[in-house]
């Protein structure tokens, strides 16, 4: 029942994969904490966590992203043990498969430099010349390809919705309360958020408040009186069948900006929105024409067998885009001692949710990062105009 004048040690706005990961990690670090998750849609119909492609990679330009994904990959491997409830072991269907990032001849030197940085930070990533690519992937056209980076470990894909449900179920088993409610206001007392007002008229007082509202995080920041450079950006995902087998197909990132990977017996593919600033990219209306106009020609140019494909499904979801530098914003909110952020992952959030949730929970419980120092992803960088740019945004 929704109550008045309740108090929780921690209130989390948003019960997607990020809010649920923070909730789960908080309870594993300190079982005494009372934690409430406010989630306006317990069916997660339009949540990014439901609509994700749920792939995980080592190939980032920012080493902090490599560390977040590496730590999360280890968690996903152990998810059945760590998230089991009464012997019921969840299956997040992790498949260790490679990413193949291709560069044009003009982009090849940049890719080589990226490979050196990634290897220096522990990435097991092979640099392949066009001949190597042709030998290894005979179905791939190497026309206008200068080089490719192929992940050898710690990359692949998984079932993001199962991860969300498993985190949520485990958090609840540990005593976290999930409540169907929409946060609509925050009461600020000096440098603290005192309470959260909900659309149903109830109020909940909080010791700490976490903004885990995904693509809608800027609205929650606005309620607290500061600006967060995060906005929803529509991305469409197209599923298709291909009659010809494509053996050992990685997740391929083409120099044209499109990506594709196997999904079940077929494939899925996507491309960046055509005009990121267009108003329709703030909606979840499907851009059906993107398949014929953009994707199919690019797919067929890269894999000749993709000339003959049949589209079987399509959906659209929001990336939570950080327009400042395309990277997560993790840590304390500006000017507020008890509000925390875990926002702006810009299309690489579901893979980083285990590690990001752990990092934030450590900051909240211990006052400092212990397992993984993600201090450079704090809001301070925005206030000080020091971007931590991520160059590989898919």
Task: For residue 221, state whether it binds ligand FAD (rule: CB under 6 A).
Answer: no
List, in sequence order, every residue forming a beta bridge with 266; answer none if it has no partner.
263
Q: Which of 90, 214, 272, 273 binds ligand FAD (CB under 6 A)?
A: 214
Residue count, binding to ligand FAD (CB under 6 A): 40
Task: For residue 54, state whether it binds ligand FAD (rule: CB under 6 A).
Answer: yes
Task: For residue 165, state whether it binds ligand FAD (rule: CB under 6 A).
Answer: no
CB of 304 to ligand FAD, least distance (A): 26
Closest CB to ligand FAD among 223 and 382?
A: 223
> Among 287, 216, 226, 205, which Cα is nearest to 34's?
205
C-alpha to C-alpha distance for 340 and 325, rounded to whole angstroms: 19
Task: For residue 212, state whether it binds ligand FAD (rule: CB under 6 A).
Answer: yes
Task: For residue 255, state whether it binds ligand FAD (rule: CB under 6 A).
Answer: no
CB of 255 to ligand FAD, least distance (A): 19
C-alpha to C-alpha distance for 128 and 131, rounded to whole angstroms: 8
Task: For residue 349, state whether it binds ligand FAD (rule: CB under 6 A).
Answer: yes
Closest CB to ligand FAD among 158 and 296?
A: 158
List, in sequence order, every residue forming a beta bridge with 56; answer none if it has no partner.
156
Task: For residue 237, state whether it binds ligand FAD (rule: CB under 6 A).
Answer: yes
CB of 5 to ligand FAD, least distance (A): 19
Task: For residue 195, state whether it binds ligand FAD (rule: CB under 6 A).
Answer: no
Q: Which of 8, 19, 193, 252 binds ligand FAD (CB under 6 A)?
A: 19
Task: For residue 90, state whether it binds ligand FAD (rule: CB under 6 A).
Answer: no
Q: Which of 25, 27, 40, 168 binds ligand FAD (CB under 6 A)?
A: 40
Q: Which of 176, 348, 362, 381 binds ligand FAD (CB under 6 A)?
A: 348
Task: For residue 39, state whether it binds ligand FAD (rule: CB under 6 A).
Answer: yes
Residues that bind ligand FAD (CB under 6 A): 13-19, 38-41, 44, 47-49, 51-55, 182-183, 212-216, 220, 235, 237, 317-320, 345, 347-351
């Amino acid at each position: 029942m929704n109550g008045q004048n309740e108090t929780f040690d921690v209130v989390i706005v948003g019960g997607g994969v990020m809010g649920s990961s923070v909730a789960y990690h908080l309870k594993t670090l300190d079982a005494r904490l009372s934690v409430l998750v406010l989630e306006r849609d317990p069916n997660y119909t339009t949540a990014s966590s439901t609509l994700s492609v749920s792939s995980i990679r080592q190939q980032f330009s920012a080493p902090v992203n490599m560390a977040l994904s590496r730590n999360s990959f280890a968690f996903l491997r152990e998810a059945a043990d760590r998230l089991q409830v009464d012997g019921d072991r969840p299956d997040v269907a992790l498949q260790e498969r490679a990413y193949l990032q291709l560069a044009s001849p003009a982009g090849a030197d940049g890719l080589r430099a990226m490979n050196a940085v990634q290897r220096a930070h522990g990435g097991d990533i092979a640099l392949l010349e066009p001949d190597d690519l042709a030998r290894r992937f005979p179905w791939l056209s190497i026309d206008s390809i200068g080089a490719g980076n192929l992940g050898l470990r710690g990359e692949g894909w998984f079932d993001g919705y199962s991860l969300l449900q498993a985190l949520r179920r485990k958090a609840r088993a540990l005593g976290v309360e999930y409540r169907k409610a929409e946060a609509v206001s925050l009461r600020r007392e000096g440098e603290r958020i005192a309470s959260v007002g909900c659309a149903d008229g109830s109020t909940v007082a909080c010791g700490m408040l976490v903004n885990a509202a995904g693509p809608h995080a800027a609205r929650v920041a606005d309620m607290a009186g500061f600006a967060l450079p995060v906005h929803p950006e529509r991305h469409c995902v197209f599923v298709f069948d291909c009659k010809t087998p494509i053996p050992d197909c990685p997740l391929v990132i083409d120099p044209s900006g499109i990506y594709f990977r196997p999904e079940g017996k077929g494939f899925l593919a996507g491309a960046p929105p055509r005009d990121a600033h267009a108003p329709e990219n703030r909606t979840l209306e499907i851009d059906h024409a993107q398949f014929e106009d953009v994707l199919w020609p690019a797919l067929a140019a890269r894999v000749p067998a993709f000339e003959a494909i049949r589209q079987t499904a399509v959906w659209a979801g929001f990336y939570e885009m950080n327009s400042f530098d395309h990277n997560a914003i993790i840590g304390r909110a500006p000017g507020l001692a008890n509000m925390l952020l875990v926002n702006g992952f810009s299309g690489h959030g579901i893979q980083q949710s285990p590690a990001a949730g752990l990092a934030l929970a450590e900051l909240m419980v211990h006052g400092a990062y212990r397992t993984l120092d993600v201090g450079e992803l704090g809001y301070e960088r925005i206030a000080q105009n020091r971007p931590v740019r991520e160059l590989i945004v898919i």
